[in-house]
Amino acid sequence: MSKATKIALLDYGMGNLHSASKALSAVGAEVSITNDPKVVAAADKIFFPGVGAMRACIAGMQENGIDEVIRHAVFNKPVMAICVGMQALFEESAENDGTPCLNVLDGKVKAFDPTWTDENHQLIKVPHMGWNTITGMDLAHPLWRGIKDQSHFYFVHSYYCEPADSSQVAAVCDYGQPFCASTLQDNLFATQFHPEKSHSAGLQLLKNFVEWDV
């Protein structure tokens, strides 16, 4: 019997830790909710959640040393970030009149433009909340195994990431305009949507991350 993958679920006071932990455990991971650098160092992989305002999230990361944990981990082991965790990886967010982020990835986090219109020519609602499809994935990549193009995932956000390098865009969602729904660089994978709230497709994606051999 193979050994369970140990995942450090980063706790800095800003994330839906219970649902993420439950979902990761359901797909076979051994999960530790932690901000202890020693526990993180002993883990096989890192899961980086995020919910709430960016400035408060960055402050929570800095207070708990999670900012340095992430900067170190991206060079050492697989990392998956979701929602505000994904946004925090970039240089700066437009939220709170401009908030410096972790600067792990080149690019900005921008606010949705409320003048955008959807396929029915109706103004989009901000925040973008609910189910939407993603497309543009490399379905041959192990992270997307078992997931179909235009699969539905659950989103809750008012800001979106715009990577400086378009090759880092791993999936796209359309909400008035196309935006980056997922990014991938080497051992760093991130999604704007919440896989832990996305039923079977979300669980499959988490399972793929748990089994990902980088």
Could you report the per-residue pLDDT of 80-135, keeping only the tens digit for each? 999 999 999 999 999 988 999 999 999 999 999 999 998 889 999 999 999 999 99
**CA 104/CA 72 separation, integer angstroms:** 10
27-61 pLDDT, tens per residue?
999 999 998 888 988 999 999 998 888 998 899 88
What is the rounded CA–CA span in Å between residue 79 and residue 105? 13
pLDDT tens sequence across 156-210: 999 999 999 999 999 999 999 999 999 999 999 999 999 999 999 999 999 999 9
Select from 209, 214, 213 the least CA-distant residue to 27. 209
Catalytic residue numbers?
83, 194, 196
71 or 139, which is more confident? 139
**Could you tell me whether strands 159-163 and 107-111 are parallel, antiparallel, or unpaired per DSSP bridges?**
antiparallel
User: Are residues 142 and 209 in contact, defined by beta-carbon separation less than 8 angstroms?
Assistant: no
How much is the mean pLDDT over the chain? 93
| CA 25/CA 151 separation, integer angstroms | 23
Across 15-49, b (16+ Cβ under 10 Å) vs e yields bbbeebbebbbebebebbbbbeeeebeebebbbbb
The mean pLDDT of 126-145, rounded to a whole number, is 97
Predicted local confidence at residue 65, as pLDDT? 85
Beta bridge partners of 81: 48, 190
Rounded to two decimals, the pTM is 0.95
Nearest alpha-carbon partner for 200 in 152, 155, 156, 157: 152
Domains annotated for the chain, with CATH where assigned, are: 6-211 (3.40.50.880)
Query: Average pLDDT, stretch 128-146?
Result: 97
Give the helix, strand, coil percentages of the chain, each rounded to 5: 30, 30, 40
Q: Contact, 77 vs 45, CB < 8 A? A: yes
Parallel, antiparallel, or unpaired: how do β-strands 6-10 and 45-48 relate?
parallel
Gap between the Cα atoms of 91 and 164, Å rounded: 10
Give yes or no for residue 2 having a pLDDT over 70. no
